Amino acid sequence: MQMRNHLMSLGLAGGLASTLMGGTALAQTSINFTLDWAYQGPTSAIIAANALGYFDEEGLSVNIDSGSGSAGAVTRVASGAYQMGFADINALVEFTVANPGQEVKAVFMVYDAAPFGLYTLKSSGIETPEDLIGKRLGGPVFDASYKLFPAFAAEVGIDESQVPRVNMDPPLREAMLIQGEVDVISGHYFSSMLDLQSRGVAEEDIVYMLYADHGMDFYGNAVIASGDFIESNPEAIAGFNRAVARAMQFIIENREEAVAMVAEYDPLIDQALEVRRLGLAIDINIDTDYTRANGFGGVDHDRLANSISQLAAALKIENPPTVDDIWTDAFLPDAELRQLP
């Protein structure tokens, strides 16, 4: 609340409400919202929407909790304990296949370009996908890049069974690579790159392979909502999305202020590191050719359909969901509110 009052005194909240809102949600609708991971720079749009009072202006009372992975976030929302959340849309595809009848949909795309990738050290001698053969790949079992490695291998033409896998807890990932216990790790670009550097690895000593650079046209994280909440509170979801769209515009131009808001939730974060992490997420995952031309928040139907097909082929999913099973654009704000600054 102290942060909110300070921002209000600077004129950073509320003033544009009458021209940007385009309507309001049901008064005082409560939403429990789960993040996919810890409170970090890349999730600051949700936190900023709260701190700047944008949710309040939409008649929403939003509680934001940290998470333990996208799969967990989807499960939380499906269970009804959380009405909305932030999760990798590919995890949503997997959940939909495994849990028919438990409807959860993505309602606002945040990462137009997925942050998935592989990371190694120059000393490993790994430079191309073919060099991965016989090398040990480490990552948490729920990490999106780790789970999608079979799709990457299929796309680049290598046999994924010839790349031994080593499961590990997230805090051990970068340390095990540095110590030579694995040869390559998987992870989000804006996390693994910075986490390696924070452990003393020079940027020029890191070799990375982004899935997006090797034919994997996946989307990344999106705002999701339960089917029950979509049915019962459509105005609230539309209002939530308007608030997040306004917050996205704010964090792109006010990165240090956005991370300061995140620190209100977790005072132990390294704010300078999180500003860099947010910058990488914006530059790589949010500010893309597509969002420059079309605005953020939406998806290209054919591209999403193709990514579902790629995922289904890699994970041997016989009856994958359709785009309409996992995505709706019914609650997207007007185009002018979704333009990059």
Strands 60-65 and 137-139: unpaired
CATH 3.40.190.80 fits 116-214, yes or no: no
C-beta atoms surrounding 78 within 10 Å: 22
Q: What is the pLDDT of residue 27?
A: 54
pLDDT above 70: percentage of residues in the chain: 92
Judge if pTM exceeds 0.75: yes
Between residues 21 and 167, the one the model is more confident about = 167
Give 80-95 pLDDT, tens digit per residue. 999 999 999 999 999 9
Average pLDDT value for the chain:
92
143 CA to centre of own chain? 12
Coil, helix or strand at residue 124 = helix
Could you give the CA distance from residue 257 to residue 275 in angstroms, rounded to a whole number?
Answer: 9
**Among 16-25, 104-113, 185-194, 274-283, where is mean pLDDT lowest?**
16-25
Residue 15 has pLDDT above 60, yes or no: no
Using the predicted structure, report yes or no on whether residue 2 has a pLDDT greater than 60: no
pLDDT tens per residue, range 46-80: 999 999 999 999 999 999 999 999 999 999 999 99
Average pLDDT value for residue range 35-42: 97
Tens digit of each residue's pLDDT (9 = 90 or more) over 156-190: 999 999 999 999 999 999 999 999 999 999 999 99
111 near 202, Cβ under 8 Å? Answer: no
Contact 43, 190 (CB under 8 A): no
**Three-state SS at 106:** strand
Residue type, 256: E
pLDDT of residue 26: 43
The pLDDT assigned to 178 comes to 97
Answer yes or no: is pLDDT of 261 > 80. Answer: yes
Distance of CA 192 to the CA centre of its chain: 14
| Ranges of CATH 3.40.190.10 domains, the chain | 2-112+219-338, 116-214
pLDDT at 5 over 50: no
Residue 230: its H or E element: helix 227-232
CATH classification of 2-112+219-338 is 3.40.190.10, yes or no?
Answer: yes
What is the tens place of the pLDDT at every residue in 214-247? Answer: 989 899 999 999 999 999 999 999 999 999 999 9
